[in-house]
Each structure stands twice: as structure tokens, then as C-alpha cells.
Amino acid sequence: MPVAREIAYDLTRRVNSSGAYLSLLLQYTMQDDALSSRDRAMVAELAYGVQRHRNKMDYIIEKFSSRPLSEIEDEVLDVLRLGVYQISEMRIPPHASVNETVDLSKEKLHPGAASFVNAVLRNTVKGIADLQWPSRNNLPYYLEIIFSHPRWLVDYILDMLDATSAEALCVADNQFQGISLRINPAKTDRESLMNRIVSGGGRAEVSHHFEEALVKVGLPRRLLLDLLEAGDCVVQDESSMLVGHVVDPQPGSIVVDACAAPGGKTSHLAILGGESCRVIAIDRNSRRLDALCKTVNRLGLANIEVVEGDSAKLGDYLSLAPDAILVDAPCSGLGTLRRRPELKWRRTREDLRRLAETQLALLDGCAEVLRPGGVMVYSVCTYTLEETTEVMASFLAKRPDYVLDDVSPYLPHEMKASAGSAGHIQLMPHLHDTEGMFVARLKRT
């Protein structure tokens, strides 16, 4: 049995059964140099594809199965999803998709499951061309199945956006065009990094928003690891780079990153502020702080101090009043589905209020520490109202000593039109070709 399908199944089971993060699992798995580049590509395509298109795969399975989905064991269902994905979405001969998936079921499942898997997949091959799909006339059901979003999220998006925009967002959530890299100017420049990527067999485009960024990057894994290990760059979406520019750290200033790990925004703040800018990175997760320290060391940044602590009680860890604080708060992450599709199947509507309480607690804990006249930037990689504008409204109602500050002067020219007059900006995947990121800038009066 080809190793790629077996690995993809093992990853899918870990993601679906134990809440593991797919990107981290793939990063760990891809360290095996015995895997060919072709196998690596297939593992990633299968593992991500099943998460991105899960509802669509389940729709197909239910149409061609003798049992309802609710009566199919989870382990069998995941094997079927992998097989159906190959049949419906990949350019693999149908007989190969069926045979290899049946072999996988013999290896991984209980005796007797292989015959059921074989029957469903053979029915799929015979009937998928004539399958009746949900009609766009029933838009919620259409988006739920065709673009594989949970129904609660479809309903939420349709309440928030018009029908055309809602469909465009669901489409964008399933389209990942490559990573973005932020250059470390202390070690290289954008042209040199671009040349290394292209000469190494990769591709990249220059960002239209930030001078320090390359976008739509695809390159051999070994080259990427070499570039990261040398400290020439970090992987960071343009939406996250925007956050650092809105903070606008100045030479000689003291800046706190209140939820710092794993360090992408922290290191960006340190570079933007220059060597005389002091950045204090705080996080309560010691393991993630270890990752931050490794990033800082690779980049050669000497102006970052790392503190383990809970920023909801920031005053317990600081004896000074910083000039700026970044609160990049834990959130639903629904703006990152292009890169983290498994989050679709983990989040619930109830999570939004719970997360908003955590976000407000962090803002409250940081608000007491900031010096008068200082800047506090709030960011979350999502677009839900509960975690964005409603959090801002609740915070400002409690803290009359804070006001929203115009973000426009800190935005790239192409993004200025997206900023409202209320002191924040909401980036969206279908509008800006970035992750969905909310960024608000506040001043303490």
C-alpha cells in the first residue's frame, strides 16, 4: 500500500478524533526524509482536501452508501472520505483510487469493512457523473454542501453579508495559493530572497502591500527549512504583517506584545521599531514561548525580552508603563480557514461569546498598564461581530479613558478604502486575498 495514503489517513484520524492541528502534524511528518516529494505533495493534498471539502465528501458518500452517515464508524468514514476525494477532486484513475483505498481499509480497519468501502467507492465511480447536487436556489444548503461549511457558520455569514459576498467568502476559504514570507532585513533583502526561491525551483510574487513581503510562495520543503533556519525570513500572512504596522513601534519606545507566542508579530515589532525599541513578549504558554525564543535567536534580534505570564494581569509582570501594547487575542480563527480548514468543524456559535469574554479580560488587564497617550492595538484573525466590533464597544463603554484612533495613516494605500471612520479595519479573504483579520487602534487619553 502506498505510504502517502496511509499517512494521510493517520493524520486525518488524529485531526478528527483528538483535535490535533493539521499544519503542525504535517510539519512533524514531513521531517521524514524517506518521503519523496511526490508523496509529500499527495499527503498534503489528501489531508487538507478532506478537511476543506468534508461536507461535500459526506454528501457523496451518503448518496452511494447502503447505510446513513450516522451508522458509519468514524474510522470507516475517514477512509471513505479519502477515497471519494481522490475520485471526485483528484486526477487519479478511478480504479487506482478504489483499489488503493480498499487496501488501506484492509490495513487500518476491522475485518469486513473493506467490502463496504469497496461497494461505496465502486458505486461512486459509476454514479458520480449523474449525481444531483444541491441547487443554488436553496443557498444555505448549497453553501453548506458545495463549499463545505458547517450550517451554523453559513447562516452566520448570510446574516452578515449579501448572498454574492457570502458565496465569495466560502469559495475563498477553500482556496490556498501558497504561503507568505516576511524578509529579515538584517540578513537579506526581498530581491535576493526571491532569486534564491526561484533558482531553487520555487515561485513567489512581490507583495503589493508591504516591502518586506513575498506572497503566493511555493518552494521545496528543504529550501524553506534552510531559509527559516538561517533567519532570512519567517512565514507570516500579510494580514498579520498589517498588525505590526498599525502598532507603529518607534525607536526608543517600549512595546508589549501581550499574547506573543509563537513570535511572528513580536519579531516584526522588534524590526519595525529598530534596535533601540524594547519589545517585551508575554505569553502564558511556556512551550509556545520556547518556539518564540527559537525564532528570535534565528532572526538575531537582541531587543526582545521574553516573560511567561498572563496578560489579563499584566500589571503583575511590569513595573513600567509601555508606550504601546499589542493584544493579539485568542479567537475563533475563522479568518484563517484557507490555512486551517479543520477549524470549521471545531468551532460553534457558542464559542464566540466565550472567546469574547477572554478577549475583554485581556484588554482590561492591559488597559491599566499603558501610559497616558499610549497606543493599544487589538487584533483577532476572525470576522465575527462578537469578537470584533462588539468587543470594542464593550471595552470602550467600560473605559472612557480610551478612544479609537484612525488606522488609515498606517495602512497600505490599497487597503485604505477598507478602513471605516471608527478606528479599525476588517480584512476578508474574498476581498483582500489575505486571512480575515480585524485590527483596531486605541489611544489612552
Rounded Cα gap, residues 370 and 23, in angstroms? 35
Determine contact, residues 56/148, Cβ cutoff 8 Å: yes
Catalytic residue of the set 170, 331, 366, 381 = 381
Cβ count within 10 A of residue 48: 22
Amino acid at 190: R
Asked whether the beta carbons of 264 and 240 are under 8 A apart, the reply is: yes
The three state secondary structure string of the chain is: CCHHHHHHHHHHHHHHHHCCCHHHHHHHHCCCCCCCHHHHHHHHHHHHHHHHCHHHHHHHHHHHCCCCHHHCCHHHHHHHHHHHHHHHHCCCCHHHHHHHHHHHHHHHCCCCHHHHHHHHHHHHHHHHHHCCCCCCCCHHHHHHHHCCCCHHHHHHHHHHCCHHHHHHHHHHHCCCCCEEEEECCCCCCHHHHHHHHHHCCCEEEECCCCCCEEEEEECCHHHHHHHHHCCCEEECCHHHHHHHHHHCCCCCCEEEECCCCCCHHHHHHHHHHCCCCEEEEEECCHHHHHHHHHHHHHHCCCCEEEEECCHHHHHHCCCCCCCEEEEECCCCCHHHCCCCHHHHHCCCHHHHHHHHHHHHHHHHHHHCCCCCCCEEEEEECCCCHHHCHHHHHHHHHHCCCEEECCCHHHCCHHHHHHECCCCEEEECHHHHCCCCEEEEEEEEC
290, three cell numbers: 520556547
The angle formed by the CA atoms of residues 144, 131 and 5, to the nearest 5 degrees, is 75
- Mention every residue, 6+ apart, whose C-beta is less than 8 A from residue 320: 254
A 10 A CB-CB count for 341 gives: 24
- Within 10 angstroms of residue 44's Cβ, the number of other Cβ atoms is 19
Q: Is 366 a catalytic residue?
A: no
Helix pair 190-199, 221-229: axis angle to 10 deg: 150
Catalytically active residues, by annotation: 381
